[in-house]
Amino acid sequence: MKKRLLLIMTVLFMGFPFFSACGEKGDSVVLSFEKDENTLLTIGDTKCSIAQIKLMLINYRNIYGNAYGITLYDNGDQDFSDYILDMTVKETARTISMDYLAEDQGVQLTEQEVERAEEAAAAYFETLSEAELEYTGIVEEEVRDLYVEYALATKLYDVLTGTVNYEVSEDEARVMQLLVILTSDKAISKEIKKSLADGGDFTTLATQYNELPSIEMTVNRTDLPPEVTEAAYKLGEGETTGPIETDTGYYFLQCLQKNVEDLTEANKKTIAKQREKETFDDIYDEYVTSLNSVVNQDLLDALEMPTEETLTTDSFFSVFEENYGS
């Protein structure tokens, strides 16, 4: 469940651009900021409180920390802390921005959908401990607003990606298993070519000359330079090719397995999900260029990654899925 939620969040929220201007710009939505002690971010007429940001912060801290085996209770990883802090603000901003795009696209929640989001919010609010309520200072109405905003953003994503073609051909998704030699030395590439022509063992030569971390690779059509990929996907099992000249050196390939079936099936899903994301991003990225944003920098600078072990909540998204998505 957590890995699936990480995928959902990655698809929805990768690459949100911040702009640092305020004011009005034609009929565009303007991300502005009315400074007060509780509001960290204002987008249009939607305010995001410091309490809401803190709630999302501990959720992201625990979701990503648990997924990647990172804890911040003692001597936390500063790079990870900075990443989660930055991501929390940007992803919250993107959700709100998606809601304005939804309005622009004529996408709305029905009364029943709003009710379901509010019920999910109430269910999640009940899970918060006294320590979490004290740290965030959040009230149920603020949780409800977050859930309704997220529900609308999710609906917008589903609407805009509804026409995506999810059929991925076997050949497009095919994953191969190869033995690989890469050398940056032209003279050595000539020696390898001669040795192979004379019946030399590919594995032995790879062990001796390969400059990559491993001589064995499973690859799809995006993992190698285009000219190497083109040559690789013409190989049958046991066949060898090279040298293939690239900017980084000379490649030699031997095909061990033309189609690694389980990895190919997984790659089909990856390609379909990428198509989905690209379809959404084409519309969103054009729209978001009209947005300007400012955050309350004083509040943001004062925000630190909490290290309390008692702040364990990580179910904001899973409760949404269980109560709203069912």
Q: 229 vs 282, which has greater pLDDT?
A: 229
Does 137 share its domain with 84?
Answer: yes
Domain that holds residue 184: 176-258
Residue ending a domain, among 258, 286, 310, is: 258
pLDDT of residue 325: 63
pLDDT in tens, 23-67: 333 344 444 444 567 887 777 778 889 999 999 999 998 888 776
Residue 305 and residue 59 in contact, taking contact as beta carbons nearer than 8 Å: no
Query: What is the per-residue pLDDT across 237-257, written as a single tens digit (0 to 9) for each?
Result: 999 998 999 999 999 999 999
Q: Quick one: 100 and 15 in the same domain?
A: yes
Q: Are both 246 and 288 inside the same structural domain?
A: no
Residues 134 and 276 in one domain: yes
Residue whose token pair is 């990559």: 212
Domain limit, last residue, from 258, 281, 309: 258
Mean pLDDT of 74-87: 73
Question: Do 251 and 273 fall into the same domain?
Answer: no
Q: What is the pLDDT of residues 138-192, one digit of tens each?
A: 999 999 999 999 999 999 988 888 777 778 888 889 999 999 999 999 999 999 9
Spacing of C-alpha 136 from chain mean position: 26
Last residue of a domain, one of 238, 258, 278: 258
Q: Report the C-alpha gap between 56 and 74 in whole angstroms.
A: 21
For residue 5, what pLDDT is reported?
46
Count H helices, E strands: the chain? 13, 6
Neighbouring residues of 175: CB distance < 8 A, sequence distance ≥ 6: 218, 219, 220, 259, 260, 263, 264, 267
Three-class SS of 86-128: HHHHHHHHHHHHHHHHHHHHCCCCCHHHHHHHHHHHHHHHCCC
Do 197 and 75 share a domain, yes or no?
A: no
